[in-house]
Homo-oligomer: A and B are copies of this chain.
Amino acid sequence: MSSPQNQFLEYLAKNKMAATEQRRIVLEVFLGTQGHHSCEELYAHVSKRDSSISPATVYRTIKLIAESGIAESLDFGDGITRFECRHDREHHDHLVCIRCNRRIEVMEDRIEELQEKLACKHEFEVHRHKMILYGICPDCRKQ
């Protein structure tokens, strides 16, 4: 498997899009982060590297990065779209603490299997799914 940088360049080439300096920088900054980040947060990091890059370019570029398969967009229901890196990572879902917003990443094969069966039963062809469990995390329960 190629590096995310090459994967992105291939995606750009295949779609006849230019490999600009801004796109390279946004990708580098994104790859340098961990967790789930909003465009606003990414823009703050990008600005430190090159303050001339605009928020609009960050919005545009992270969307391309997601379309190339390197990032996944996440919607935790608070009106802010976040992105996380998909490169060399397995699929997972999230537990979200409604007190402190802590997010725990989880994966349960049997749930995934049952989701597929459930869809199959309705002759539905699943492309993706979203499963979020909202509640109180261990730390917040102790308080």
**Chain A residues engaging chain B, CB cutoff 8 angstroms:** 75, 77, 95, 97-98, 104, 106, 108, 110-111, 114-115, 118-119, 122-138, 141
Contacts and interface: CB of A to CB of B under 8 A. Distances in A.
Contacts of A111: 111, 114-115, 118
Nearest to A138: B123
Given A114-B111, A115-B111, A138-B122, A130 B127 contact: no
Contacts of A115: 111, 131, 133
A127 B122 contact: no
Contact of A129 (B123, B125, B134, B141): B134
Q: How many copies does the complex hold?
A: 2
Given A95-B118, A111-B111, A124-B135, 4 more contacts: A98-B127, A106-B118, A125-B136, A126-B134
A125 B108 contact: no
B95 A119 contact: yes
A123 B108 contact: no
Contacts of A127: 98, 134-136
A135 B130 contact: no
A132 B129 contact: yes
Contacts of A110: 110, 114
A119 to B, nearest CB: 5
A130 B77 contact: yes
